[in-house]
Structure 1
Amino acid sequence: MANEHMESLYQTLMQAADLLHQQVKTSYLEAATEAGEDLTAGTINVQDGVPNQETVAKLTALFKPVKITDFSAEEVRQALQLILVKAIRLDAIEPNKQVTPDAMAELATFVATTFLPQPAALTVFDPAAGTGNLLFAVMNQLKAALAVPVTGVGVDNDETLLAFAGMSSQLQQLDVALYHQDALGPLAATDVDLVVSDLPVGYYPLDERAKQFATAAKSGHSYAHHLMIEQSLRALKDGGLGLFFVPSTVFQSEEAAGLTAWLTSSAHFQGLLNLPQSLFANPAAQKSLLILQKPGAHTKQAKQVLLGSFPELSDRKAFSEFIDSVRTWAAQNLA
Structure 2
Amino acid sequence: MANEQLKQLYDVLDDTTALLHKTLGSTYLDAAIESGENLMAHTVHQEDGLPSQATVDKLTEQYATIDLSDYSAEELRQALQLVLVKAVQTDGIEPNKQVTPDAMASLATFVATTFHANMPETMTVADPTVGSGNLLYAVMNQLHAAKNVTVKGVGIDNDDTLLAFADMSAGLQHLDVQLFHQDALADLPVTNADLVIADLPVGYYPLDERAKTFETAAESGHSYAHHLLIEQSLKMLKPGSFGFFYVPANVFKSKEAAGLTAWMTKAAHFQGLLNLPESLFADPAAQKSLLILQKPGEHTKQASQVLLGTFPDLSDRKAFTEFIASVQAWAKANLA
- Structural RMSD (CA): 0.7
Correspondence list, 1:1-335, <5 A: 1-118=1-118, 119-335=120-336
CA distance in 2, matches of 1:197, 1:328: 25
- Runs of 4+ displaced beyond 4 Å: none
TM superposition shift of 1:6 = 1.1
CA distance in 1, matches of 2:19, 2:300: 53
TM superposition shift of 1:93 = 0.8
Alignment length (residue pairs) = 335
CA distance in 1, matches of 2:178, 2:2: 32
TM superposition shift of 1:65 = 2.5
TM superposition shift of 1:63 = 0.8
CA distance in 1, matches of 2:279, 2:39: 36
TM superposition shift of 1:142 = 0.2
The SS at the match of 1:176 is strand
TM-score in terms of structure 2 length: 0.99
| Aligned residue identity for 1:3 | N
What percentage of aligned pairs have identical amino acids?
67
TM superposition shift of 1:115 = 1.3
| Aligned residue identity for 1:149 | T
CA distance in 2, matches of 1:66, 1:190: 39
CA distance in 2, matches of 1:329, 1:206: 40
| Aligned residue identity for 2:158 | N
CA distance in 2, matches of 1:205, 1:317: 45
The SS at the match of 1:112 is helix
CA distance in 2, matches of 1:26, 1:259: 42
CA distance in 2, matches of 1:259, 1:170: 37
CA distance in 2, matches of 1:328, 1:58: 56
CA distance in 1, matches of 2:300, 2:170: 32
TM superposition shift of 1:114 = 1.3
TM superposition shift of 1:201 = 0.2
TM superposition shift of 1:2 = 2.5
CA distance in 2, matches of 1:83, 1:189: 30
| Aligned residue identity for 2:35 | A
CA distance in 2, matches of 1:41, 1:331: 47
TM superposition shift of 1:117 = 3.1
CA distance in 1, matches of 2:186, 2:24: 34
CA distance in 2, matches of 1:74, 1:310: 24
The SS at the match of 2:312 is coil
